[in-house]
A and B are shown apart, each in its own frame.
Chain A
Amino acid sequence: SQELEQSPQSLIVQEGKNLTINCTSSKTLYGLYWYKQKYGEGLIFLMMLQKGGEEKSHEKITAKLDEKKQQSSLHITASQPSHAGIYLCGAKGDSGGSNYKLTFGKGTLLTVNP
């Protein structure tokens, strides 16, 4: 089964600083999804990457997919307290037939100090 390793496990930054979170897969990535979760709440979809070299941005968050390295990175520019939360990467995997499921990493806890 596919395993996703996220690093770092937790991160504390000062407001305004840039940061990067990595997600490395044990198998080839066919689709990589980034979610954000506030403590005790559900997952909010951020973005999806499908092709090697693909890069997407939304506001101050940029995600990239390096297919060769089986890795994705999430970069936040000029962090704000609103960016605080748990960032989870999920990879698309086969659950049988034509159905697919997501396998998640353990998450990266981001704290942004004002």
Chain B
Amino acid sequence: EAEVAQSPRYKITEKSQAVAFWCDPISGHATLYWYRQILGQGPELLVQFQDESVVDDSQLPKDRFSAERLKGVDSTLKIQPAELGDSAMYLCASSPEGWDRGFGETQYFGPGTRLLVL
């Protein structure tokens, strides 16, 4: 069964350092999402890509966060510099075309990257 891949699974860094997370969506999924989940909360959307284009990055702290999906396949999320408040789980998800119109489809999530900023 196809899955969303993420790496690394865990990352410990010191504040002011740069960190990067990688995501490989399910093959053929045009839409890719990055979410941030703080402990005890639900996931919150940071950025949404349709192919290589950003559709929604309204909640992305653009002064320190950046995301790219250059060839419309895999994606990288970067934080520079990291702050203590960035400690969270970073989840990547992908969805097939028309997932929002039903047909039993949804967003499929990867295992996440747990970030701890010291």
Contacts and interface: CB of A to CB of B under 8 A. Distances in A.
Interface of A: 4, 31, 33, 35, 40-45, 48, 50, 88, 90, 92, 95-97, 99-107
B107 interface: yes
Question: Chain A interface mostly helix, strand, loop or mixed?
Answer: strand
A48 B45 CA distance: 19
Given A33-B106, A41-B112, A99-B48, 17 more contacts: A31-B100, A41-B111, A42-B109, A42-B110, A42-B111, A43-B93, A45-B109, A48-B106, A50-B102, A88-B43, A92-B100, A96-B55, A96-B56, A99-B56, A99-B100, A101-B45, A105-B42
B108 interface: yes
Contact of A104 (B4, B31, B43, B106): B43
Give the interface size class of chain B. Answer: 20 to 34
15 contacts: A4-B42, A31-B102, A40-B114, A42-B4, A42-B109, A48-B104, A90-B42, A99-B55, A99-B56, A99-B100, A102-B43, A104-B42, A105-B42, A106-B41, A106-B42
Interface of B: 4, 6, 31, 33, 40-45, 48, 50, 55-56, 89, 91, 93, 100, 102, 104, 106-112, 114
B106 A45 contact: yes
Contact of A95 (B41, B48, B102): B48
A90 B108 CA distance: 13
B87 to A, nearest CB: 13
A104 to B, nearest CB: 3
Contacts of B4: 42
Contact of B40 (A4, A35, A101, A106): A106
Contacts of A43: 43, 91, 93, 109
